[in-house]
Structure 1
Amino acid sequence: MSITDHPYAAPSGVLLGHFTPGTAAWNEARAGLSITATEIAAVVGLSPWMSRFTLWHKKSGLNVAPFEMTSAVEWGSRLEDPVAAKWQDEHPGQLAAPAGTWRHREREWQRATPDRLIYPQPEGEFETPDQADALLEVKTSPFGDDWGPSGADDGVPLHYRCQVMWQMDVLGLPRTHFAVLISGHDYREYVIEYDEGDAKILRDAAVQFLDEVRSGVRPPIDGADDTYQTVRVQPDGFDDIDVEIPLDAAARYELAQDQMGAAKTELTAAKSVVLDHLGTGRRAVANGRRIAYRIPKPDGTTKSLSPYKTSKEAA
């Protein structure tokens, strides 16, 4: 029988504990040849933050660039409780409580740390029930470009869908609710149902990935920035010598340099054309869609031109 057949399925995974992120105990619970919910998107090549190449080096015990706290990560952490409280206000009769770190009851390498477990809470009862029936995942986003309208079936970015599918598979729960705060004021909700087929695809990919780690089969180098950062931290010394490299590697590098130069020249020309059309205006619009915006200097001349999709104005 599938977990989706159980309306109230107490988590069937194994609770490892409640750990503070970044502590030794937290790192230990996530260490070794395990795959966590935040890593599974990297395994299947869908993570915007970590490449398969970088994750392979991490799991192989090799050097990776140190984690850097960004403002987005910091504020996402600071706002988790208020956004979860908003979901709680919108769903009387359900209690969202901290979930802790879990592993699958049989596959010890399959780990997850959901944001909250959701428990049914009849009116007048204030103790946490024994059975949880869903998960709550809390997210914040500065612009919301990747999120669909609230409640949309396809409104959740694919890498987050991978994350919660993994979490549900680990804990044995049938659905995940999303509470998302966009631009600091746009609150949205979504629901993802467990899908055994999708979960199996992720499990099979994880098994193959861990086999490649054990066998020393390194993934190919890709164009992700964190892959470049991982390559940068591999050398453990410096020798002032010449090193012969393959001709195709040299040609690829030189061609990319030439193309980058040409692209920069074309971008400068394109920006000049847009600014020429803008004149004293602020926003460039094409067929009703905002393309770029101009920031003026005090005297009215142009300080800069930026693409609209990456600006705060896009929110």
Structure 2
Amino acid sequence: MSIKQHCDLIMTAAEIKFSRGTWLGCKANSIGGTDAAAILGMNPWKSAYQVWLEKTGQVKVLDISDSEPVYFGTLLEQVVADEFCRREHKKVKKCGMYASKKHPFMTASFDRLIVGEDAGLECKTTNAFNKSEWDEGKIPPQYYVQCQHYMMVSGLPRWYIACLVGGNHFVSWVIERDEDDIAALEAAEVEFWGKVQNHTLPDIDGSESCTEALRNKFKGGQVEPILLPGESVKLLNRYDELKALKAEIETESKEIQNKLCAMLGDNEIGFVGEGEDARKVSWKTVSGRTTIDSKKLKAEMPDVYEKYSKKSADTRRFTA
């Protein structure tokens, strides 16, 4: 199978390397693999709303290539690819950025394509704290979606994903093309791109990325009260219900914690249950923090206080 039947090469690997600005521009005007998971609400670092702001040009897409995780991830990409080839007895080749023939706004920058096989390879690195996310054939959901997006653009039936975990643990798994997942993903991306083209607001979710995007988009300053849309009544009523439920849950949780602490007494560690089902609980002594009495410092040494004071950036706080 030739991917040329399904997609067009719009930038070679060499062009991406030497014209990074052009590549970032292409990414900003299309839906790529990392965008796909965000659109579905499955990207832990970015919301659909943040992607929408970027694609509509309302916020600048940050080039994070110089950040250490991204820098070392890129640096180790070849290492991961080489180790995959060594273990799986395969050959790979670098490629570039492709656009879907069916939906030109859907693009993909493949890490590698497998030589002599209708498949691609996605190379990842992560720290040791994320080891459980990759154990026993598990793949983080956002990367599964990314690979299905690549298969949607390329038409290929299979994608390998390899990850170097903590610098000393290597895993690789195969993801088969899933037509149902691809159909759902295609529909979601088409709908989302329509909202980009029409500047129609996507769904607002509860992710931290969405919260941060709203803060960056709306700086405030308009002090004159406004009347919110009718749907705000239902939203605020539900907000009140959830606040009450949260308080109830926190109170009960604290009660249970106190009962367990009473059982521990002066002991710092205890076990609940026996055998394989046993769970450890602890109530350990933590050293007290050393703090600065800022009010006293300001009163007695105002010059020192002024010299070392630092004001944080203004932010907005929601109340209801």
How many residue pairs get aligned? The number is 276
| 1:137–1:178 CA contact under 8 A, matched in 2 | yes
The offset of 1:58, in angstroms, is 2.3
Larger helix percent = 2
CA contact (8 A) 1:65 1:230 kept: no
Matched, 1:176 2:159: yes
Residue 107, structure 1, aligned to residue 90, structure 2: no
Shift in CA distance, 159/285, structure 1 to aligned 2, threshold 3 Å: farther
Residues 1:171 and 1:10: Cα distance change in structure 2 (over 3 Å): closer
- The structure, 1 or 2, with the larger RCO (C-alpha pairs under 8 Å, 6+ apart) is 1
Distance in 2, matches of 1:184 and 1:293, equals 31
- How far residue 264 of structure 1 moved from its aligned partner, in angstroms, is 4.8
Decide which of 113, 125, 138 is 2:123's aligned counterpart.
138
One-letter identity of the residue aligned with 1:147: W
Aligned with 1:167 (options 140, 150, 163): 150
Change (3 A) 1:267 1:174: same
**Percentage identity across aligned positions?**
25
Q: CA deviation at 1:104?
A: 1.9
Higher share in strand: 1
- For 2:291, the equivalent position in structure 1 comes to none
Answer whether contact 1:118 1:136 (CA < 8 A) is retained.
Answer: yes
Q: Secondary structure, in 3 states, of the residue corresponding to 2:151?
A: helix
Structure 1, gaps ≥5 residues long: 1-5, 121-131, 305-315
Shift of residue 137, structure 1, vs aligned partner = 1.0
- Corresponding residue number in structure 1 for 2:309: none
Q: Cα gap change, 1:84/1:227 in structure 2, threshold over 3 Å: closer, same or farther?
A: same
User: Of the two, which has the highest radius of gyration?
Assistant: 2
Closer/same/farther in 2, CA of residues 53 and 41 from structure 1, 3 Å limit? same
User: 1:283 deviation in Å?
Assistant: 8.0
Let me know the Cα RMSD of the aligned residues: 3.6
Partner amino acid for 2:118? Answer: D
User: Match for residue 118 of structure 1?
Assistant: 114
CA contact (8 A) 1:274 1:284 kept: no
Give the aligned partner of residue 281 of structure 1.
269
Please report how far the alpha carbon of residue 45 of structure 1 lies from its aligned counterpart in structure 2 after TM superposition.
Answer: 2.9
CA distance in 2, matches of 1:116, 1:10: 13
Shift of 1:49: 2.5
Among 84, 93, 99, the alignment partner of 2:81 is 84
What is the aligned partner in structure 2 of residue 48 from structure 1?
Answer: 44
- Is 1:29 the equivalent of 2:26? yes
- For 2:32 and 2:177, the matched residues in 1 are separated by 17
Tell me the CA shift for residue 27 of structure 1: 0.9
Determine the C-alpha separation between the residues in 1 that align with 2:21 and 2:71: 20
Does the 8 A contact of 1:65 with 1:229 survive in 2? no
Alpha-carbon contact 2:269-2:283 (below 8 Å) kept:
no
Q: Secondary structure at the match of 2:269?
A: coil
TM-score (norm 2): 0.70
